[in-house]
Structure 1
Amino acid sequence: MYTYNDFDEAFVRSRVAQFRAQVERRIDGSLTEDEFKPLRLMNGLYLQLHAYMLRVAVPYGTLNPSQMRQLADIADRWDKGYGHFTTRQNIQYNWPKLQDVPDTLEALADVGMHAIQTSGNTIRNVTADHFAGAAADEIEDPRPVAELLRQWSTDHPEFQFLPRKFKIAVSGAEHDRAVTKAHDIGLRMVRNAAGEPGFEVIVGGGLGRTPMVGKVLRDFLPKADLLPYVEAIVSVYNLLGRRDNKYKARIKITVHENGLEKIQELVEERFAAIRGEFTGFDQDLLTEIEAAFAPPAFVTKSTDGYEAARLANPAFRSWTDTNLADHKADGYAIVSISIKKHGQTPGDATSDQMRVMADLAERYSHGELRISHEQNVILPHVHQSDLPAVYAALREADLATANIGLVSDIIACPGMDYCALATARSIPIAQEIATRFDDLKIEHEIGALKIKISGCINACGHHHVGHIGILGLDRAGVENYQITLGGDGTETTTIGERAGPGFSADEIMPAIERLVKGYLDLRTDETETFLQTYRRLGLAPFKEILYPSEEKANAA
């Protein structure tokens, strides 16, 4: 893992001291709220419905045990004993007091963390595949590149006041687990004809009120050209992007209004002009960073105990079937820890649970944890012989839910329970759906199914790319939930189709139940997933299930 150097340490400490002085001036009245707002947003502090909210950056989703323990201590000392992991691989605290925020930032700095650029019209936290450095299908670990981009973008003088917020995602594997095509810039590692690794560069993706799938700007970009090329893209957007209308200010609109060919022309022109300014220092820096991400010293041990435990314990076997992924090293597995126990708030982890996960990472996962954009926590390097012990510890901490990728593994934004922008609740809907399907005991029969819920049009819950997406809206003061179908956030990214009229809060759970049970009748066999069935049949049969004719409804 990357560790802060002297420059990082000094920079973050100076920002904390600067913000401490700004907070003091706000509290004594020297600054009005309007004057304070841009200052707090530069440090990840929002004002939500009931309190301030602090968003802490977890660059490319990677944490070490000390950092996770510090997040737990912060939750206990300055919040309400829990944190909320987000689709940006960040953690949010929903109840900090303004006077305590500088101390919180100081505590973060003690473990090499911060909240810089987690808000504002700047380049936000760079995200990555949460299986990076471990996945069996990986070409290369993308995290060194993500760290290079983090260092380049942090406090970049040209890009602190962009037309709108800007998000970059990086993936180094064949299977896209970073939703790269729904980002302002998506970088997917590929190989050219000579077998050399480089990047497919995607621009103009995004969700929100105008969802768009990103377009390929370059089929193959050599790694050595990455930083100047990304700077060229952001420079072009900074000049061309609209500032007259915030709803049309994202780069996806810039690409749409100007056309991909013009954007390509401008980016290539800018790239040619600045490429010479990058005289190899970026590659020297990348080489240093790559050394910090050297693979752990994997060991060779017998896996007989693991296989015996699977045979002896059905609950453990069920957990291994859903919560493990293939690792690049023989005898190892990637463990996804579900923090979505049925009926709980998706993405919330208590301080005690954070400490358990930190301990497990230290003992069994070579000192590494990852936060996934799907709001779960990953132990990336666990030997199969240690899995029974890991499972036992997770079960004791109420973290052994075997539902990764299933119907109750729901992505949900905080919604109207916390967010000032939300127009409907997300959390209660997610809880109701998860609880209902747990009661029905058909989750494993249903198989892979991604439900994603957003409490407003901003789509922080990624509902557009859910196999089943749910969007909460306000209709004349009443919560109304629209359903979209067939979305996908992988390398075959697709925006879901709106099924029809929305449902009330009381109607949405029965509608989802009808939909899922109807899918079980429509699929060819138990191996055909919901998404595959939808792609084979299209919207029509699912729409009939959601909106049965009046005669059928009365007969039922």
Structure 2
Amino acid sequence: MYRYNEFDKAFVASRAAQFRDQLERWQSGKLSEEAFRPLRLQNGWYVQRHAPMLRVAVPYGELSSAQLRVLARVARDYDAPETDVYARALAAQRALGTTRLPTHHAHFTTRTNVQFNWIPLAKAADVMDLLASVDMHGIQTSGNCIRNISCDERAGVAPDEIADPRPFAEIMRQWTTLHPEFAFLPRKFKIAITGAAEDRAATGWHDVGLRLVRDAHGELGFRVAVGGGMGRTPMTAVVLREFLPWQQIMNYIEAVVRVYNQFGRRDNKYKARIKILVKAEGQRFVDEVEEEFRQIVDIDGGPHTIPHAELERVSAHFMVPDAAAVERAIAPAAARELEAAAHAQPLLRRWLERNVAAHRHASMRIVTLSFKRLLQAPGDASAEQLERVADLAERFSAGEARVSHTQNVVLPWVHVNDLLPLWQAACALQLASANVHLLTDMIACPGGDFCALANARSLPIAESIAERYQDLDELDDIGEIDLHISGCINSCGHHHSGHIGILGVDKDGAEWYQITLGGADGSARGGEARPGKVIGPSFAAHEVTDAVDAVLTCYLALREPCGEGAGEGSCDRRETFVETVRRVGLEPFKAAADAVRAHAEQAARAEQTT
């Protein structure tokens, strides 16, 4: 992991001190609410539906055990609302039929940040000081700037990786932090980087998506795509360069951002993202970027060219954290014990198949701890869970954990000899659900339970679906499927990229939900990034789970025994849900879902008649 140097530490500490002064001036009335708002946003402090929300940056998803323990302390000691605030929130939720608003929790986001929903602003400066003690902050987690840069959660350890993207992400983090050119963009700006063959970072859905590639001569560079994004107008990024030498990547991003700064719309926030500019200008946008890049390199001398020495310096922070552990031989006795236990315990066998992935070192594995279970919102982690995950990271993963795009936590340095004791420990914490990439491993935003922008609640829908599909045999039979839920069109739950997407919409003050099918985020499960398509009118909240059930029942009836990539002359892989949708089209699924709506309407009419 990258360790902050003295400059980094001093910068974060001074920023925390600056925020304390700003907060105290606001509290005393010397700073107006209007003046304070952009200052708190620049440090990750929002005001949501019921209380402030803090977003903490987790660059490229990496967390040390020490940082996890501080996040646990923030959750335990500060994520507790004032009594009257919480009472009003509960009263509002009772009116909607639920009273479950967990406190003392952190929430993992789809862009690998960590959020807290109940910290009073009066305690905000104390929290920032505490975060700064372990090199954490909320800088550039909000506002019209370049946001936290995200990566593949398996960066540096995946066997399909061409090169480790984390050193580049760290160099870019340092470069973009408080860069004057990037401080007041037309709208927020998000970058994702991957170095793997499989796009686990959803790069196609970002303002700038970067993929490390090698040219015909074996030289390392980037495939640069620009203009991806969700929201009201979902678009996937357009490739501007199939190959750009890695040394030039920051000069090229500077060219992209300069063109965006000059021509991006500032009169309408819904049309201010770079995707709108890319779509509207087409080739002209590409030409402008190329000309700007030429001037930066040829006239200005390429001031942001990355020297080999700098890449080597930063890369040194990302070496194998515990060489002795990697070199430890796989013990025959441990292997036999694991095999015997897996034979005797089906849950362990499923966990090894679902939650354990191959590693670039033969003796190591990548293990996903699932934060998807009943009575806990997707991505939520209690203070106790955070502390125990810190323990697991220290005991089994060289003190390192990763937040994943799918709102889980990954341990990237687990030795094969330790898989059985790790599973046992994860079971004790209820973090060993063998559901990774299955239906209940869903993505969901906090929705209307917390967010002031949401049209509808996401979490009750997620809970209803999870409760319906608890049988692991049934989940395995359905197979790999991405279910994504957003509470509003801002798409924080990434519903556009779900094989099944659910979007909360407002209809005459009531909560309704659109269902989309066939989306993909770029991973192997769905192929190239693309938005899903809506299947008919929206559904009432109580109809959604039945509609999803009807869609899946339709899939099971239509799927073919052999999916794409099945071995020649064999049927060793069934057709997946998204493959079936793309083969047969939307109509059968739309008809199945419409039947649910029709049945509900008929039942409602019968009840009114009675």
Tell me the TM-score normalised to structure 1 length.
0.97
2:531 — aligned with what? 495
2:77 — aligned with what? 77
Alignment CA distance shift 1:368-1:415 (3 Å)? same
Q: 1:408 aligns with which of 440, 451, 455?
A: 440
Distance 1:550 1:152 in 2: 52
SS class of match (2:141): coil
SS class of match (1:381): strand
Structure 1, 77-86 or 451-460: larger mean CA deviation:
77-86
Tell me whether 1:399 sits opposite 2:431 in the alignment.
yes
Tell me whether 1:349 sits opposite 2:371 in the alignment.
no
1:265 — aligned with what? 287
Tell me whether 1:289 sits opposite 2:314 in the alignment.
yes
Distance 2:232 2:528 in 1: 21
Alignment CA distance shift 1:552-1:504 (3 Å)? closer
Distance 2:312 2:471 in 1: 52
Retained in 1: the 8 A contact 2:60–2:149? yes
2:256 — aligned with what? 233
* 1:501-544 CA-partner distances (Å, limit 9, x unpaired): 00000111110111112111111127111011111111121112
Distance 2:175 2:217 in 1: 29
1:505 — aligned with what? 541
Tell me whether 1:534 sits opposite 2:581 in the alignment.
yes
Retained in 2: the 8 A contact 1:227–1:282? no
Distance 2:446 2:596 in 1: 35
Distance 2:307 2:40 in 1: 31
Q: Which amino acid aligns with 1:70?
A: V
Alignment CA distance shift 1:373-1:169 (3 Å)? same
Q: Which amino acid aligns with 1:173?
A: A
Tell me whether 1:548 sits opposite 2:577 in the alignment.
no
Q: Which amino acid aligns with 1:166?
A: F
Structure 1, 312-321 or 275-284: larger mean CA deviation:
275-284
Retained in 2: the 8 A contact 1:60–1:143? yes
Retained in 2: the 8 A contact 1:306–1:386? no
Distance 1:235 1:550 in 2: 49
* 1:460-512 CA-partner distances (Å, limit 9, x unpaired): 00000000000001000111100000000015111101111000001111101
* 1:300-323 CA-partner distances (Å, limit 9, x unpaired): 222333323222321111111111
1:274 — aligned with what? 296
SS class of match (2:371): coil
Q: Where in structure 2 are there 5+ consecutive unaligned residues?
A: 80-102, 562-572, 604-610
Q: Which amino acid aligns with 1:266?
A: E
2:55 — aligned with what? 55
Distance 1:549 1:481 in 2: 14
Distance 2:238 2:12 in 1: 35
Q: Which amino acid aligns with 1:527?
A: R
Report the alpha carbon displacement of residue 81 of structure 1 after superposing the two structures with TM. 2.1
SS class of match (1:548): helix
2:172 — aligned with what? 149
2:66 — aligned with what? 66
Alignment CA distance shift 1:555-1:271 (3 Å)? closer
Tell me the TM-score normalised to structure 2 length.
0.89
Summarize the alignment of residues 78-227 of structure 1 with structure 2, pairs less than 5 Å apart.
Answer: 78-79=78-79, 80-227=103-250
1:45 — aligned with what? 45
Report the alpha carbon displacement of residue 279 of structure 1 after superposing the two structures with TM. 6.8
Report the alpha carbon displacement of residue 243 of structure 1 after superposing the two structures with TM. 0.4
SS class of match (2:595): coil
SS class of match (1:200): strand
Distance 1:33 1:435 in 2: 43
Question: Please, what is the CA RMSD of the aligned residues?
Answer: 1.8
Tell me whether 1:475 sits opposite 2:507 in the alignment.
yes
Retained in 1: the 8 A contact 2:222–2:242? yes
Distance 2:340 2:65 in 1: 30
* 1:368-391 CA-partner distances (Å, limit 9, x unpaired): 100011100000121121011111
Q: 2:330 aligns with which of 294, 301, 305?
A: 301
2:463 — aligned with what? 431
SS class of match (1:43): coil
Report the alpha carbon displacement of residue 283 of structure 1 after superposing the two structures with TM. 4.1
Structure 1, 341-350 or 40-49: larger mean CA deviation:
341-350
SS class of match (2:555): helix
2:26 — aligned with what? 26
Distance 1:58 1:551 in 2: 46
Alignment CA distance shift 1:544-1:380 (3 Å)? same
Retained in 1: the 8 A contact 2:247–2:306? no
Report the alpha carbon displacement of residue 549 of structure 1 after superposing the two structures with TM. 9.5
- Report how many aligned residue pairs link the two structures: 555
* 1:149-201 CA-partner distances (Å, limit 9, x unpaired): 11111000111100000000001100000000000000011111112221110
1:250 — aligned with what? 273
Q: Which amino acid aligns with 1:117?
A: Q
Retained in 1: the 8 A contact 2:250–2:305? no
* 1:184-223 CA-partner distances (Å, limit 9, x unpaired): 0000111111122211100000000010011001001111
Alignment CA distance shift 1:549-1:182 (3 Å)? closer
* 1:74-98 CA-partner distances (Å, limit 9, x unpaired): 1111114210010110000101111
Alignment CA distance shift 1:205-1:433 (3 Å)? same
Structure 1, 275-284 or 477-486: larger mean CA deviation:
275-284
Q: Which amino acid aligns with 1:150?
A: R
Summarize the alignment of residues 368-379 of structure 1 with structure 2, pairs less than 5 Å apart.
Answer: 368-379=400-411
Report the alpha carbon displacement of residue 66 of structure 1 after superposing the two structures with TM. 0.6
Retained in 1: the 8 A contact 2:75–2:383? yes
Alignment CA distance shift 1:339-1:38 (3 Å)? same
Retained in 2: the 8 A contact 1:132–1:141? yes
Retained in 1: the 8 A contact 2:547–2:596? no
Tell me whether 1:450 sits opposite 2:482 in the alignment.
yes
Distance 1:190 1:174 in 2: 9
Q: 1:515 aligns with which of 548, 551, 564?
A: 551
Q: 1:386 aligns with which of 396, 418, 425?
A: 418
Retained in 1: the 8 A contact 2:248–2:306? no
Distance 2:309 2:288 in 1: 28
SS class of match (1:544): helix
Structure 1, 273-282 or 442-451: larger mean CA deviation:
273-282
Q: Which amino acid aligns with 2:416?
A: Q
Q: Which amino acid aligns with 2:315?
A: E
Q: Which amino acid aligns with 1:48?
A: Q
SS class of match (1:327): coil
Retained in 1: the 8 A contact 2:502–2:515? yes
Structure 1, 262-271 or 276-285: larger mean CA deviation:
276-285
Retained in 2: the 8 A contact 1:343–1:434? no
* 1:113-147 CA-partner distances (Å, limit 9, x unpaired): 11100000000000000111111111111111111
Retained in 1: the 8 A contact 2:195–2:211? yes
2:369 — aligned with what? 337
Q: Which amino acid aligns with 1:312?
A: A
Report the alpha carbon displacement of residue 280 of structure 1 after superposing the two structures with TM. 5.1
Distance 1:147 1:265 in 2: 29
Distance 1:522 1:73 in 2: 50
Distance 1:323 1:117 in 2: 32
Report the alpha carbon displacement of residue 355 of structure 1 after superposing the two structures with TM. 1.3
Summarize the alignment of residues 313-328 of structure 1 with structure 2, pairs less than 5 Å apart.
Answer: 313-328=345-360
